[in-house]
Amino acid sequence: MVVGLIILAVVTIGVETHIDTSLIAASGFLEPSLLGWQLIYILPVAIVTNDFFISGFWMRTFASKTDQDLLIGTSIATVAITLILGLVGATGLLAAWTGAYPGDPPQSGSIAFFLLLGQLPAWVVGIVLIMTVSLSTAAFDSLQSGMVSTGSNDLFRNKLNFWWIRAAVVIIIVPVVVVALESPSVLQIYLISDLVSASSIPVLVIGLSERCYWWRGFEVVVGGLGGLLTVFIFGTIYYGSAQEGAYLLLLENGLYGDDWSAFGAFVAAPVGGLLWGLGALALRLGFQWSRAKVKGYRFDALDRPSPARPSFYTGNHADAEELDPDREQVYTQGTTDIKGKFF
């Protein structure tokens, strides 16, 4: 469907639209700008860190049979997404160069694609809108599946009936839809979540490395909250007002400003989070070292944890011949209860 949408849009836009060459230079879109350079940093940080919270991506990751399959799949998806976003993003330029944007009266740049779409024949508009709604519905379906999976497995450990989880997701969707309809800018909602992820994900991924076995949940929590506090401190200093610093946490001025506020927020969030996390690590180790000295036992906070016992065993299976007639042994995966430490 995505390929069909792209082919249809490219062909019809190429045939039906006419670029006014005098508008190319007048638009200034090909000239370097402060915002353009800032977005080279902001968008990768915001998107990459926010993707860590999207359960649909993790579901597809764990569905990969091998690491090689995962690498091949992500490589193909990267090329496809780059081409698709490049073509879709170019519609904003075409809308400006054909005179569809900003329009009369001037319209928001977020709907430049639809302004350009308005110049196409009605049958093309109908097909594109149907495909767009279908793609949005598919993305929303993946989001709901991820929420159900996360609630069932991560929150309730598969101890709650599956239908109760689905009902809870439906209930949660109601206020989400209301907020989306009443919010003056959906982009602002995304930016707030991006800021939260930018402050918490850097300190979280440290704990995913086996070399950083000494990194615990305490550092992750303090680092995530500290990153947001750092954004507030930066905003207070930058604007000279605590109220404006609080507004920066909500990115009230949006992303497309003429100053360094948004850029500074997305720098302060990860850097501040890491600094707060390192400070929390030093505080925890200092406390544990002092407690060990006072109580007279060995300081073991930096000891490497014992390796988990193998979670696979070999044995005869009653249905071994049915499962695999050519093998005498069946490998069955067991479970090991490994709990991390918060403090």
pLDDT score for 314 = 42
Give pTM, 2 decimals: 0.78
238 pLDDT band, cuts 50/70/90, is: very high
For the segment 79-121, what is each residue's pLDDT rounded down to a tens digit?
988 888 888 888 889 999 998 888 878 887 778 888 888 888 8
Contacts of 329 (CB under 8 A, 6+ apart): 314, 315, 316, 320
For 278-293, write each residue's pLDDT tens digit. Answer: 999 999 999 999 999 9
Average model confidence (pLDDT) for the chain? 84
Contact present, 289 and 301 (Cβ < 8 Å): yes
Looking at residue 308, what is its pLDDT? 61
- 3-state SS, one letter per residue, for 173-218: HHHHHHHHHHCCCHHHHHHHHHHHHHHHHHHHHHCCCHHHCCCCHH
Confidence of residue 257 (pLDDT cuts 50, 70, 90): confident
Confidence of residue 319 (pLDDT cuts 50, 70, 90): very low
CA torsion sign, 286 to 292 to 293 to 295? Answer: positive
Q: What is the DSSP string of 115-172?
A: HHHTTS-HHHHHHHHHHHHHHHHHHHHHHHHHHHHIIIIIISTT-S-HHHHHHHHHHH
Cα separation, 58 vs 54, in Å, equals: 7
Confidence of residue 272 (pLDDT cuts 50, 70, 90): very high
Looking at residue 294, what is its pLDDT? 92
DSSP-derived 3-state class of residue 268: helix
- Whether residue 56 has pLDDT greater than 60: yes
pLDDT at 318 over 60: no
Q: What is the pLDDT of residues 203-219, one digit of tens each?
A: 999 998 888 999 999 99
